[in-house]
Structure 1
Amino acid sequence: MVLTIRLAGPQDLEPILELQRQAIQVLCRQDYCPRQLDAIVLSQQRARGLSELILLAENEQNLVGFSTALLPTWEIGGVYVHPDYTRRGIATQLLTYLERQAIERRRRKLSVTSSITAVAFYQSLGFQVIRKTKFLMYGAWIPCIEMEKPLTLSPTQPQDISPLLLWCCAFVLVALLLMLL
């Protein structure tokens, strides 16, 4: 399957919400009861587009999946694939793209609060379970798993400079300038 991955725009919100609703209702039904599924759908619909980067996966201009990263933290907000397109590598491609974007921005780790349904997917891509948690959403408790994946910056990328080192350098520079005056 040939995929095109692109940034979402405001015009994409309705198809994103519909794909998300279908993915949650169909793919998560063995892990959550109907009341929990409805609460998840409602809470996720309200969150979409608020301070997040949304990447779309399209096949022949048909939306087949999307992923989100919450900004500025780069926490994964979710990876969703239309139920008719699962097990084709779409979610992996979306998450790999987000991971590359995070590495380019010198992030040292990715984190996600995963549904019970998606834990095995994230683990297959190197995420580790940190802790079990749950959220109260629209009157339903939703069990989730917090997960993280350390990222490796390439040797050609500059490493983060410690804030203390940066302040010391600035102090020395100011002191030198004052001595010259």
Structure 2
Amino acid sequence: MTRKLLEQFFMIRAATFQDIPELEKLLVLSVRGLSREHYSPGQIESALKYIFGIDTQLISDGTYYIFEIDKIIAGCGGWSMRRTLYGGDQHKKLQDTLLDPITEAARIRAFFVHPDYARRGIGRQIMGYCEQQAKANGFSSLELGATLPGVPLYKAMGFRDVANIVEILSDGEKLELVKMIKSI
């Protein structure tokens, strides 16, 4: 599908709880398909178990979005007004408190694209929508915890590195991430 066709038939909409089974499938396909050049098979499977997952708080808040092409979920991602930087429900231990939009950055969260639709502008489209929504809610900057495959995309969209993170997972695997920030 060419970019021109993609522009004609796509839709961004808020995710619902009914979407979770399809989002979970997309997440696994995305991580396994797009992370192989950056992470070992052990790191990928461990991250799927302990970090990468659906954060239902984003769905409750109405800040998690689905990118559909002809009613096929090709990508997803969102922004958050809450403190968590990354991870699904299985990664969070405490209640996710609200951020102060005057002094803190909104969080960009859980971007996943189906490998069959990678590098077609889906991540950029969702990010643009997230930026608009965060700005409309009083935020002037964005922060995210990028996986290594995502770093080039986020840099191309104006994010800059602020810290390297090594997440030690429950089974001893280590996952490298990059904390990034952008003014909006």
Shorter-chain TM-score bucket reads 0.7 to 0.9
Instruction: Give the C-alpha shift of residue 103 in structure 1.
Output: 0.8
1:78-137 C-alpha deviation (Å, 9 max, x unpaired)? 211100001111110001100000110110100000001110000000000001111112
Counterpart of 1:141 in structure 2 is 174
CA RMSD of aligned residues (A): 1.3
TM-score (norm 2): 0.78
Whose RCO is larger (CA < 8 A, sep 6+)?
A: 2
1:22-61 pair list within 5 angstroms: 22-42=29-49, 43-45=51-53, 47-51=54-58, 53-61=63-71
Given the alignment of the two structures, is residue 91 of structure 1 paired with residue 101 of structure 2, yes or no? Answer: no
- Tell me which stretches of 4 or more aligned residues in structure 1 moved more than 4 Å: none
Identity of aligned residues (%): 23
How far apart, CA to CA, are the structure 2 residues paired with 1:75 and 1:137? 22
Unaligned residue ranges in structure 2 (runs of 5+): 1-5, 83-98, 100-105
How far apart, CA to CA, are the structure 2 residues paired with 1:127 and 1:38? 27
Contact kept in structure 2, 1:136 and 1:142, CA below 8 Å: yes
Instruction: Give the C-alpha shift of residue 51 in structure 1.
Output: 4.2
Contact kept in structure 1, 2:58 and 2:78, CA below 8 Å: no
Instruction: Give the C-alpha shift of residue 21 in structure 1.
Output: 0.5
How far apart, CA to CA, are the structure 1 residues paired with 2:58 and 2:15? 13
* Larger-gyration structure (1/2): 1
TM-score (norm 1): 0.79
3-state DSSP of counterpart to 2:158: coil
How far apart, CA to CA, are the structure 1 residues paired with 2:80 and 2:166? 19
How far apart, CA to CA, are the structure 1 residues paired with 2:131 and 2:108? 9
